[in-house]
Structure 1
Amino acid sequence: MGGQVSSVDGVHVVVVGGGFGGVAAAQQLRSGGVSFTLIDSRDSFHHNVAALRAAVKPGLAQRTFIPFRDTFGDAFVQGRVERVDVERQAVVLRGGREVAFSHLVLCTGTDGPFPGSFAAEGEESGPSGVQAYEDFTQQVQAAGSVLVVGGGSSGVEMAAEIKAEHPEKKVVLIHSRMSLADPELLPSVRREAEEVLLQKGVELVLGEKVDNLSRLQLNVTSRNMAVTTERGATLTTDLIVCCTGQKVNSSAYDSSFSASMAAGGALKVNQHLQVQGHTNVYALGDCTDVKEPKMAYHAQLHAAVAVSNIVNSLRGKQLTSYHTGSVTMLLAMGPDDGVGQFNGWKLPRCAVVLGKSRDLLLWKSWRDMKQQQP
């Protein structure tokens, strides 16, 4: 960004949501000397890129929760946003507290099923999250067989992580489509993901959809549960893990920005990542309607553009535009394998291992948060 802008009177940026995009925005605001408040309902940043491995590897979960206050001090406020008062330019928290803003950055992300996501609130959300993942590793250990529902990128990674940690267990992945992983990945990468799963011994049931999922107990080991498909097949398993159903977390803004929302709750943004109809409100990450895979990597790119544009607007400079590029996505399939592509080019599996699979970029989040890993 270059230079400090803290001398501008009345400038205070409120960042709602402490995921990858929100943390990146807060860090860049601080580096630029811009007054800000980061708000999240949890007390800790969750490095959910490593969530699926933390679900099967005991002891890892404690490294995936990083306390906000140790990084941001008084610039962090823990609370749940009830609504945004656009006219008064204030964010209203549960309990009535208000935080005034000159500029607002919304990065509320998506919610989905555990263990891919962890949505607990409260003063001890970090410790409770660690305990939830440690408890889940015991459920996996107790199961003789595991059924992973959903063969998108999360389902592929989940099945591979279970098999990598517990090669002796029966792992079945069921997917409603015939091709695995994200549709925006190269066909060759998607085929390679299937090959890796088969090499690891994962059984695949493709083109089938679970019929009775809403009546089944998830994430708890129970011997020989009967799972039926829409085509009439029956599978038995001891543990069911759901990797479908990600939804935009729009509760913080849906009452205030309903006219700016797309189907599904995402916010419509222009090329500058400004929310439609609002020049001082930006959105980034999973809660935008930008047509690209919903990934931490993209949320961090959005953060750089949004913060630059806040600074540029204060200085009367031209705003920066965000442009989607060729897809970059790495799938960690256990600590010693993975598939992916960079800027549209397929990567060797060894490159994915070095780039992501080995440590799942945990080192980067701890470095960015300027804290020491436990």
Structure 2
Amino acid sequence: MGGGASALEDVHVLVVGGGFGGVAAAQQLQSAGLSFTLVDMRDAFHHNVAALRASVQQGFAQRTFIPYAQTFGQRFVQGRVVRVDTERQTVVLEDRTELQYSHLLLCTGTDGPFPGKFNTVASYQTAVQRYDDLVKEVQEAESVLVVGGGSTGVEMAAEIKTEYPDKKVVLLHARIGLADPELTPSVRREAKQVLLEKRVQLLLGQKVSNLSQLPVNVTRRNTQVTTDKGTKLNTDLILCCTGSRVNSDAYAASLSGSLAEDGALKVNQHLQVQGFSNVYAVGDCANVDEPKMAYHAALHAAVAVGNIVNSLRGKELTSYHTGNVTMLLALGRDDGVGQFAGVRLPRLLVALGKSRDLLLWKSWREMKQRQP
């Protein structure tokens, strides 16, 4: 390949964040034969699409964590990135280790409350234990309050009611409409219908006024909850499914001139971070106007890695274009709602396509490992 081969040999791509986007990028870099390092604060990929089921089924969490080292070997480094130095082209870890790069892929994703997210410096054994501990709390509770009726809250309520149909489950949401606003109205109405069929009680258009003072993820009998509308209710267990935010801690100070208001990185059509030709943002931390989904993160990764290769070979860069929203909500292992390219799908099709296994098979296959 002449000069192109020489350029490729000088490349070392640093991938910060081992979520769906980061792992997809690392796999594509591996296939392209490019030198790379993947950095994440955990030692295993978290298939968090299945995190909510891991909260209600004992032993399920073990299937949702896939060790990085078995797939990427020494190209994986565990640590928390605290600073990006674009002048020296290095990132600095919390333990002061410095990692050099020629190209940087920022794939830091979003953060939010447990159990939907587990963004903590920890071994996967520790993470699995925490989910298994939460299962015991759910089993002990006679009543559960799920706070937040976005897609995560809707799925959480459905998972509990599917596994434990005799428990009282209340879903409290600040808005009237449930699930993601990017879903068509008919799909959102159908999600509500499924919850009502499962006998989930809905409190819509209300907020918990004393949430910061309440115990979450731990069973406390007859905990009193008050809403901003004056509604009072007692519950044994509170699960919080609100407050997702862009995880910008690794780069906020260093790339402050490229930040959007929510902490995401402003990118051009090639997914290059504003002001840089060798820094890309992939997945939830990219300021792209579309829902934050694993599916989109993988599409971003393909464009970003392809553009690194294209730039080295002097080829034209590829643009990323958003399409019609495709989104599936698993409402327990036996039901689900969703849409493909904006068209509502039959519930049975969603249940068979996603809800039964939550696409775990796909992550294990792509990581070239066998499920336990």
TM over 0.5, yes or no? yes
Which amino acid letter does the alignment assign opposite residue 366 of structure 1?
W
Q: Give the corresponding residue for 1:312.
A: 310
Q: Give the corresponding residue for 2:47.
A: 47
Q: Give the corresponding residue for 2:354.
A: 356
Alpha-carbon shift at residue 6 of structure 1 (Å): 7.8
Give yes or no for the alignment of 1:297 onto 2:299: no
Conserved? CA contact 1:220–1:240, under 8 Å:
yes
Give yes or no for the alignment of 1:71 onto 2:64: no
Note the alpha carbon deviations across 1:291-336, whole angstroms, 9 max, x for none.
Answer: 1110101100100000000000000101000111100000000011
Q: Secondary structure at the match of 1:8?
A: helix
Give the one of 264, 272, 275 matched to 2:270. 272
Conserved? CA contact 1:5–1:33, under 8 Å:
no
Q: Give the corresponding residue for 1:219.
A: 217
- What is the rounded CA distance, in whole Å, between the counterparts of 2:51 and 2:276 in structure 1? 35
- What is the rounded CA distance, in whole Å, between the counterparts of 2:116 and 2:82 in structure 1? 25
- What is the rounded CA distance, in whole Å, between the counterparts of 1:103 and 1:118 in structure 2? 27
Give yes or no for the alignment of 1:116 onto 2:116: yes
Q: Secondary structure at the match of 1:299?
A: helix
Q: Give the corresponding residue for 2:20.
A: 20
- What is the rounded CA distance, in whole Å, between the counterparts of 2:366 and 2:143 in structure 1? 38
Q: Secondary structure at the match of 2:9?
A: coil
- What is the rounded CA distance, in whole Å, between the counterparts of 1:222 and 1:359 in structure 2? 32
- What is the rounded CA distance, in whole Å, between the counterparts of 2:197 and 2:95 in structure 1? 53
Give the one of 152, 162, 167 matched to 2:150. 152
Give the one of 269, 272, 286 matched to 2:284. 286
Q: Give the corresponding residue for 2:107.
A: 107
Q: Give the corresponding residue for 2:30.
A: 30
Conserved? CA contact 2:7–2:312, under 8 Å:
no
Q: Secondary structure at the match of 2:56?
A: coil
Which amino acid letter does the alignment assign opposite residue 35 of structure 1?
S
- What is the rounded CA distance, in whole Å, between the counterparts of 1:116 and 1:345 in structure 2? 27
- What is the rounded CA distance, in whole Å, between the counterparts of 1:136 and 1:367 in structure 2? 28
TM-score where L is the length of structure 1: 0.97
TM-score where L is the length of structure 2: 0.98
Which amino acid letter does the alignment assign opposite residue 209 of structure 2?
D
- What is the rounded CA distance, in whole Å, between the counterparts of 1:348 and 1:318 in structure 2? 41
Alpha-carbon shift at residue 120 of structure 1 (Å): 2.1
Conserved? CA contact 1:146–1:172, under 8 Å:
yes
Which amino acid letter does the alignment assign opposite residue 159 of structure 1?
A
- What is the rounded CA distance, in whole Å, between the counterparts of 2:157 and 2:223 in structure 1? 18
Note the alpha carbon deviations across 1:90-136, whole angstroms, 9 max, x for none.
Answer: 111122211111100000011100000012214xx200000000000
Note the alpha carbon deviations across 1:30-57, whole angstroms, 9 max, x for none.
Answer: 0001110000111000000000000001
Cα RMSD after superposing both structures: 1.0
- What is the rounded CA distance, in whole Å, between the counterparts of 1:197 and 1:293 in structure 2? 22
Q: Secondary structure at the match of 1:104?
A: strand
Conserved? CA contact 1:6–1:35, under 8 Å:
no
Give yes or no for the alignment of 1:97 onto 2:70: no
Alpha-carbon shift at residue 5 of structure 1 (Å): 5.4
Where structure 1 has 5 or more consecutive residues not aligned to the other structure, the ranges are none
Which amino acid letter does the alignment assign opposite residue 86 of structure 1?
T
Give yes or no for the alignment of 1:81 onto 2:81: yes
Alpha-carbon shift at residue 10 of structure 1 (Å): 1.8
Q: Secondary structure at the match of 1:140?
A: helix
Q: Secondary structure at the match of 1:231?
A: coil
Distance change (3 Å), C-alpha of 1:6 and 1:53: farther
Aligned length: 369
Where structure 2 has 5 or more consecutive residues not aligned to the other structure, the ranges are none
Moved over 6 A (4+): none
Note the alpha carbon deviations across 1:177-230, whole angstroms, 9 max, x for none.
Answer: 111000010000000000000000100011111111011010100011110000
- What is the rounded CA distance, in whole Å, between the counterparts of 1:229 and 1:111 in structure 2? 25
Conserved? CA contact 1:5–1:311, under 8 Å:
no
Distance change (3 Å), C-alpha of 1:298 and 1:6: farther
Q: Give the corresponding residue for 1:334.
A: 332
Q: Secondary structure at the match of 2:71?
A: helix
Which amino acid letter does the alignment assign opposite residue 47 of structure 1?
H
Q: Give the corresponding residue for 1:198.
A: 196
Q: Secondary structure at the match of 2:121?
A: coil
Give the one of 178, 187, 202 matched to 1:180. 178
Q: Give the corresponding residue for 1:373.
A: 371
Identity of aligned residues (%): 70
